[in-house]
Amino acid sequence: MEALVERLSGLDPYVDGAIRIVAFYDTLMRRRVDLPALVRASAGLAECVVGVRLHGTGRSTRVSPHGTAAPDASKPASTTVPITLDEEEIGTVWLERPGPPHPLDEVLLDRLALAAAAAAERYGPARTTMADPALVELVVSRDSDAAARARALRLLGFAVDLPVHVVAVRTGLPLDRIGTLVCPARPVKTALLADAGVILATALDRTRFPAAVRAGIGAAHRPDLAWCQARTALRFATEREPVVHHTDLGALALLAAVPERVARDNPDVVALDLLLPEDVEVLDAYCASSSVRRAAELLHRHHSSIARRLDHIGRTLGLDPTTPAGLTRVRLALVVRRLVHDGAER
């Protein structure tokens, strides 16, 4: 092969230059360079300003031959080539060469466009937060096939070979700000669907959710299944536990599948609805701690006061919440009641 290349390059200086350009970009692609490095290397090779724009971000990157950002006062593009991925144009590359185009400019841009498509597929475009809801819905919908889902993920800027975390969110805060907080240094997309906000992220720090946010995190590798899990986990989120991972629910997740009519008519759930709100609060604190003293600390009350309230609540419910069996029933009833009320609010 090397002998053939040498013979071809000796026949024509144009062929020699074209072969060297192809080899240059082959090397960059083997090294899996990202898009910024690719543009810098191209500007040095072309010895003029090189620009790239991905439609998914709406932003342009222009680099001078010295490897620095080109000044804003730019010349018009001398040569332009589209970036194509899966037969769809996803961006543009161009040269800003003073004077007439170089004979090899078209070859250089063709190879740059191929390398840029590979980099965009592998690393995704520069990180943005808000996304097209239609693309996000394609990713999380059970009606999407695998090819449509993969294509939507690529267009959103996610690498095809990396997992994507799916989060369902309920909040009054801007979704893009939440996405940036929980995934500060990696690609993240957010969108508002009909019943909840969606966060798609390549990494996730669940400790960075703001206090005013309720979030459910899916566990499945497939985004559509993870979205179903995330929505289920979101239904279990409370002020005491605002962020819930579906994996942590275990068998409790089965309660979300109980028909609302059956859950609402359960005697323990009906009995809870007859209690005063402050009594439900006492029960919730006691169930969260399994301790009268700890419940008193959570509610900033004296433990004897909590003990008296639990005794009164027990007589009203017809069970003793301080026994193992009574505590289990109350815990389940509180969860089911919360799910019923959540379903009524949506």
Q: What is the pLDDT of residue 200?
A: 94
Does the pLDDT of residue 127 top 50, yes or no?
Answer: no
Q: What string of DSSP letters covers 132-183?
A: -HHHHHHHH-TTS-HHHHHHHHHHHT--TTS--EEEEEE-SS-HHHHHHHHS
Confidence of residue 343 (pLDDT cuts 50, 70, 90): low
Backbone φ and ψ for 302, nearest 5 degrees, come out as -80, 145
pLDDT by residue (tens digit) across 228-276? 999 999 999 988 899 999 999 999 999 999 999 999 999 999 999 888 8
Contact 204, 156 (CB under 8 A): no
Q: What is the pLDDT of residue 252?
A: 92
Q: What string of DSSP letters covers 274-312?
A: TS-HHHHHHHHHHHHHS-HHHHHHHHT--HHHHHHHHHH
Contact 195, 346 (CB under 8 A): yes
Does the pLDDT of residue 1 top 90, yes or no?
Answer: no
What rounded mean pLDDT belongs to the chain? 86
Locate 202 and state its tokens: 């390549």
Does the pLDDT of residue 113 top 90, yes or no?
Answer: yes
Does the pLDDT of residue 172 top 80, yes or no?
Answer: yes
Share above pLDDT 90 across residues of the chain, in percent, rounded to a whole number: 42
Of the candidates 211, 212, 213, 243, the residue with the CA atom closest to the CA atom of residue 230: 243
Does the pLDDT of residue 160 top 50, yes or no?
Answer: yes
- Rounded average pLDDT over 297-324: 88
Confidence of residue 173 (pLDDT cuts 50, 70, 90): confident
Q: What is the pLDDT of residue 126?
A: 42
Q: What string of DSSP letters covers 13-37?
A: HHHHHHHHHHHHHHHHHHTT--HHH
Domains annotated for the chain, with CATH where assigned, are 2-123 (3.30.450), 133-255 (no CATH), 258-345 (1.10.10)
Of the candidates 154, 26, 25, the residue with the CA atom closest to the CA atom of residue 91: 154
Q: What is the pLDDT of residue 242?
A: 93
Residue 188, beta-bridge partner list: 201
pLDDT by residue (tens digit) across 218-236? 999 999 999 999 999 999 9
Contact 109, 82 (CB under 8 A): no
- Rounded average pLDDT over 22-50: 91
Q: What is the pLDDT of residue 64?
A: 92
